[in-house]
């Protein structure tokens, strides 16, 4: 029993270090994952809360006062989720939200026909990010690589579809993609924004979705650096990802080719 008590104390200390209140801790929220989006305004870090899964929160990070005005109203989040769903992207069903102080908690209970099981989610760390981390294994079978390519293609097409209706997802890191069989669901739309895009102009596209591109380019750079033994596979998957994503855009083929080349090379300016 002693190790369990120590673990609880460590967890409580970590939570308080991140600014999570004792009142929130008493509600038995379970901390899952990392600190979510970490932005810097001025000289201090700002932590933004992430999505809540069936009353098990994936991170109760308090909003910074400066950043708070950029966070979308819950009804706007609900509207964005609805539009994205109509575009064919798999997203959790939006149940509702509640507020505690300045923090808004969003509740989702289903992804498509799949009921969310919070305990299973916590245990398996069922995200595309956790799936990618298996690349560090000494041996990788062909079945894993085939499934990984399917999931990455689904994630890429999902982001491409979101962009195609003029929406910036805002936080497209790999832990915000949840595998559901051979597809992925996209979560966390609290930083999303609508964008006006001239699809005939590659620079207009880059400007509209730059924030998402920065996330994705950095994510792929991190994969290449973290798993140097998998560099050839990682580069092929990166090219596949951006090709699938940009392929969903209603842009001329020449513009698409130019944009794909830039994203693969990480040239955003």
d(CA 218, CA 234): 13
Q: How many separate domains does the chain show? A: 1
Residue 209, in any domain of the structure: yes
**Banded pLDDT at 46 (limits 50, 70, 90):** very low
Element (H, E) at 186: strand 183-186
pLDDT in tens, 131-185: 888 887 767 788 888 999 999 999 999 999 999 999 999 889 898 888 888 889 8
The mean pLDDT value for 71-94 works out to 78
pLDDT at 209 over 70: yes
d(CA 208, CA 254): 18
Q: In CATH, what number is assigned to the domain containing residue 158? A: 1.10.510.10
Residue 53, in any domain of the structure: yes
Q: In terms of Cα–Cα distance, which of 119, 37, 106, 44 is closest to 70?
A: 37
Mean pLDDT for the chain overall:
72
What is the extent of the structural domain holding 235?
32-265
pLDDT at 61 over 50: no
Q: In terms of Cα–Cα distance, which of 219, 149, 170, 157 is closest to 48?
A: 170
Contact partners, residue 43, CB within 8 Å, separation at least 6: none
């Amino acid at each position: 029993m002693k190790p369990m008590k120590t673990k609880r104390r460590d967890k409580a200390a970590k939570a308080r270090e991140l600014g999570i209140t004792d009142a929130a801790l008493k509600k038995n929220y379970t901390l899952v994952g990392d600190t979510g989006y970490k932005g810097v305004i001025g000289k201090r870090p700002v932590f933004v809360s992430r999505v809540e899964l069936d009353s098990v929160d994936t991170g109760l990070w308090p909003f910074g006062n400066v950043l708070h005005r950029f966070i979308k109203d819950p009804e706007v989040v609900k509207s964005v989720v609805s539009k994205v769903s109509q575009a064919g992207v798999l997203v959790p069903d939006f149940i509702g939200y509640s507020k505690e102080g300045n923090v808004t908690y969003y509740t989702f209970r289903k992804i498509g026909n799949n009921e969310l099981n919070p305990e299973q989610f916590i245990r398996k760390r069922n995200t595309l990010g956790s799936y990618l981390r298996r690349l560090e294994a000494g041996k990788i079978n062909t079945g894993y690589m085939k499934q990984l390519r399917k999931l990455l293609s689904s994630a890429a097409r999902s982001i491409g579809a979101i962009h195609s209706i003029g929406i910036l997802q805002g936080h497209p890191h790999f832990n915000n993609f949840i595998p559901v069989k051979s597809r992925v669901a996209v979560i966390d739309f609290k930083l999303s924004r609508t964008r006006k895009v001239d699809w005939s102009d590659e620079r207009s596209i880059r400007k509209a979705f730059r924030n998402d591109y920065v996330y994705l380019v950095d994510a792929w750079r991190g994969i290449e650096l973290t798993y140097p033994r998998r560099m050839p596979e990682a580069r092929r998957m990166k090219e596949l990802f951006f090709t699938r994503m940009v392929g969903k855009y209603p842009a001329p083929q020449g513009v698409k080719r130019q944009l794909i080349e830039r994203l693969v090379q990480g040239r955003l300016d």
